[in-house]
Structure 1
């Protein structure tokens, strides 16, 4: 309680983060956010929280998928990117089929139907990006069958996207409504268990992509509400420094796989390249309406790394 004539204590920061080795030290207090009362609401699964953030600005700081962030920025939603990658990996193994169906390659998908959770899902962004880059298959060459809506309410799917009543992407495969399906990292080991990648040597293909581009595809980033950044920049800076320390102190818990290397905090050539490529892919796929100005994004929070 504040005393008469005294100052009111600052309101807690609500911070929505997934449960990862590199975020747990923040949540359990092992890495403190000095002088800032941070509240970490639980949410599982995470995607509904992403939708609430871009539709209702439900949290002060929030984990956010790459594609959702790019669409939110394109739509003028008042959030600012904080330079941290919480989840990432390569995605050549994410394009899958049933093992008993005829073998086909990514280039054979022209004119076919492919399942994906939502057209704005970040894994789908990366898969469609390498499909066009490496096989010449454009987004509009395929009918994308979805089981969920995109997070950003203002976005309207292109005409080659169809909404299904199926609950899960794998159900689209099992009912033979689609020829192939895009599954995110968690789904690959869950509902996607036993499915076969269309790319024969998916791990090598993913590594070739990272070698070519000098970065690992980021799936989940971090954003802060613009009003929070404007009104409480010191609190945001303190939280960001604690997150950076949490990521650095858990480095030995991550291996040298793309997923392990993806987790980073701070502006770098790798993060800049990742945003530039994702922005180009998003524009090619009709997820956004204008080119992404990565230099402007970086300038918004350059002070964090000084």
Structure 2
């Protein structure tokens, strides 16, 4: 009898083959729930509603160390993104370089969020600006009341405090009560040009490519997790999920490579794809622990250095054993 699985994931191109049924999870019948990431995270971490779920990678590291995660990781990385574009600063404060962020006050929706983890890691590794050199203020970007997950609090040397419950980061930035914001989404005062705000890295594409040349790191944002109790009963499930997600990714890449008709609504997508492979290699979005060891080691180190975790040092602790070599090369 097949195992019935619910899979919650944003409807990325790289899972389209799972969604349309052209790729199956061996031994399983699946129901795919294509939801927004924020909704998935809330429902997964609060009630473990899904058998298989997209998870925040930073949150996964934290909850694994705390022993409160209902999920075990599968080394399938649904979301990856360079984050130089995520730093917004006021233009009337003399901030022109990353080093100018020392001693400043920056807003961030949650200190523990993965985008912020990578931004702080990049600032520290490349520019010598550590997390403790900046005062961090947490809260909702556009809607008030957002708080850190998992009851996290921070002590010296980290200056992390919530903003008032009735305030938003966007409003504080617009009024000049914050020097800048680190956010995966752009603040409305930047988009609407209602305040003197710009990105710190205005040519962020060039900066991100240079960062990749220097470090070889393509930042991991989200990971797939499977419920721990389900995996305990069906240990074969980890390898079946890995194989299926990998097959779906390969189907996505084959569609992107098809030059008969564009898969994406971008006129020069084939050229962008060729340029990406020239810089990052053919397998620029790998799954598996071994192929992502440098990025995973960096994330675990950043989490410790930034006061989020203290004991996890080996990223293999975050994942279920699975045969990564079963997937077709």
Length-normalised TM-score, structure 2: 0.78
Note the alpha carbon deviations across 1:15-71, whole angstroms, 9 max, x for none: 111111111221222323354111222433x22421332343222111112211111
Query: Residue 64 of structure 2 aligns with which residue?
Result: 73
3-state secondary structure, aligned to 2:107:
strand
3-state secondary structure, aligned to 2:323:
helix
3-state secondary structure, aligned to 2:22:
coil
1:168–1:218 Cα change, 3 Å: farther
Residue 211 of structure 1 and its aligned partner are, at CA, apart by 2.3
Residue 85 of structure 1 and its aligned partner are, at CA, apart by 1.3
Range with bigger deviation, 233-242 or 213-222: 233-242
Within the candidate set 177, 183, 208, 2:210 is matched to 208
Matching of residues 253-268 of structure 1 within 5 Å? 255=273, 256-257=275-276, 263-268=285-290
1:284–1:171 Cα change, 3 Å: same
Residue 89 of structure 1 and its aligned partner are, at CA, apart by 1.8
The CA distance in 2 between the partners of 1:191 and 1:30, in whole Å, is 43
3-state secondary structure, aligned to 2:206:
helix
Query: Residue 148 of structure 2 aligns with which residue?
Result: 150
Query: Residue 274 of structure 1 aligns with which residue?
Result: 295
Query: Residue 221 of structure 2 aligns with which residue?
Result: 219
3-state secondary structure, aligned to 1:111:
coil
Query: Residue 111 of structure 2 aligns with which residue?
Result: 119
Matching of residues 7-26 of structure 1 within 5 Å? 12-26=4-18
Residue 82 of structure 1 and its aligned partner are, at CA, apart by 0.7
3-state secondary structure, aligned to 1:289:
coil
Unpaired segments of 5 or more residues in structure 1? Answer: 1-8
Query: Residue 134 of structure 1 aligns with which residue?
Result: 126
Residue 206 of structure 1 and its aligned partner are, at CA, apart by 2.0
Residue 235 of structure 1 and its aligned partner are, at CA, apart by 3.8
**What is the RMSD computed on CA atoms of the aligned residues?**
2.8
Note the alpha carbon deviations across 1:216-250, whole angstroms, 9 max, x for none: 01111111122222212334433332211110111
3-state secondary structure, aligned to 1:223:
strand
Range with bigger deviation, 27-36 or 118-127: 27-36
Residue 98 of structure 1 and its aligned partner are, at CA, apart by 4.3
Does the CA contact (< 8 Å) of 2:239 and 2:322 recur in 1? no
Note the alpha carbon deviations across 1:166-186, whole angstroms, 9 max, x for none: 6654333212221111121xx
The CA distance in 2 between the partners of 1:37 and 1:154, in whole Å, is 36
Quick check: 1:95 aligned with 2:100?
Answer: no
Range with bigger deviation, 46-55 or 239-248: 46-55
Does the CA contact (< 8 Å) of 2:84 and 2:119 recur in 1? yes
Residue 282 of structure 1 and its aligned partner are, at CA, apart by 0.9
The CA distance in 2 between the partners of 1:199 and 1:35, in whole Å, is 47
Query: Residue 325 of structure 2 aligns with which residue?
Result: 305
Query: Residue 245 of structure 1 aligns with which residue?
Result: 247
- Runs of 4+ in structure 1 displaced over 6 angstroms? 258-261
Query: Residue 160 of structure 1 aligns with which residue?
Result: 159
